[in-house]
Amino acid sequence: MGLDAVELVMDLETAFNVSMDGVTVTTVGALYDRIRNQLPPDSATVVRDFPAGELWERYLDVVQRSTRIPRRDLRPEASFRDLGLT
């Protein structure tokens, strides 16, 4: 995992108070799912509709701020590798 990907993971860990040990950055949606599944079930931020809602928007904010990838490109199926994150 490259430095950009490591920084993204660290930013997400901080923003969502989750542990991403051993995560492989693949797609925008897979990484979101990993975070969503670590949040407590009773968390007010957990939204079961994927991808939609407050949690998805917060996630996109962190990813965009961390990577500078245009938000329009951050679709669930988008590969981070194809987006230039190595």
Q: How much is the pLDDT for 60?
A: 96
Q: Is the pLDDT of residue 86 over 80?
A: no
Determine, yes or no, domain membership for 49: yes
Determine, yes or no, domain membership for 83: no
Determine, yes or no, domain membership for 53: yes
Determine, yes or no, domain membership for 79: no
Determine, yes or no, domain membership for 48: yes
Q: How much is the pLDDT for 64?
A: 96
In the chain, the amino acid numbered 26 is T
Question: What is the domain count for the chain?
Answer: 1
Summarised one tens digit per residue, pLDDT across range 16-74 is: 999 998 878 789 999 998 998 888 776 655 555 556 688 899 999 999 999 999 999 99
Evaluate whether 85 touches 5 at the Cβ level (below 8 Å).
Answer: yes
Q: How much is the pLDDT for 37?
A: 86
Range of the domain at 18: 3-73
Determine, yes or no, domain membership for 46: yes
